[in-house]
Amino acid sequence: MPSDTSPTASSARPRPGRLAPSDARQRLEDARSSRALQLRALDSGPSREGHLVATQTEANNRVIAEIDAAVARIEDGSYGTCLACSTSIPAERLEILPYTRYCVPCQHRAAT
């Protein structure tokens, strides 16, 4: 049985320690759908706590923007690479937080 070494077959496979682009895209689409659903619920629900709804809406919109940016990184081939230090972000981190821009050490530095 010959192995398939065509460019299409090899580009669909992730590098070691990376998520496949199709898996990453699916995770991002799922996360975006979930956030969009939360936004719709916030928009249609009673607004007893206006500041709380506004805070939740802002947080959901921020995450959706991060998800959209991650999809763009998939498109340009930079998905899974830390934007600060250019090292590979471990697949385990991307499975948990598929729209992350940073590896853990750089995320800690960014947060402080």
Cα first-last separation, the chain? 54
Q: What is the pLDDT of residues 45-92, one digit of tens each?
A: 665 567 788 888 899 999 999 999 999 999 999 999 999 999 999 999
Q: What is the pLDDT of residues 17-29, one digit of tens each?
A: 567 888 889 989 9
Amino acid at residue number 29: E
Amino acid at residue number 46: P
pTM over 0.85: no
> What's the pLDDT score for residue 111?
87
Pair 83, 101: CB distance under 8 Å: yes
State the residue for tokens 């981190």: 93
In angstroms and rounded to an integer, the radius of gyration of the C-alpha atoms of the chain is 17
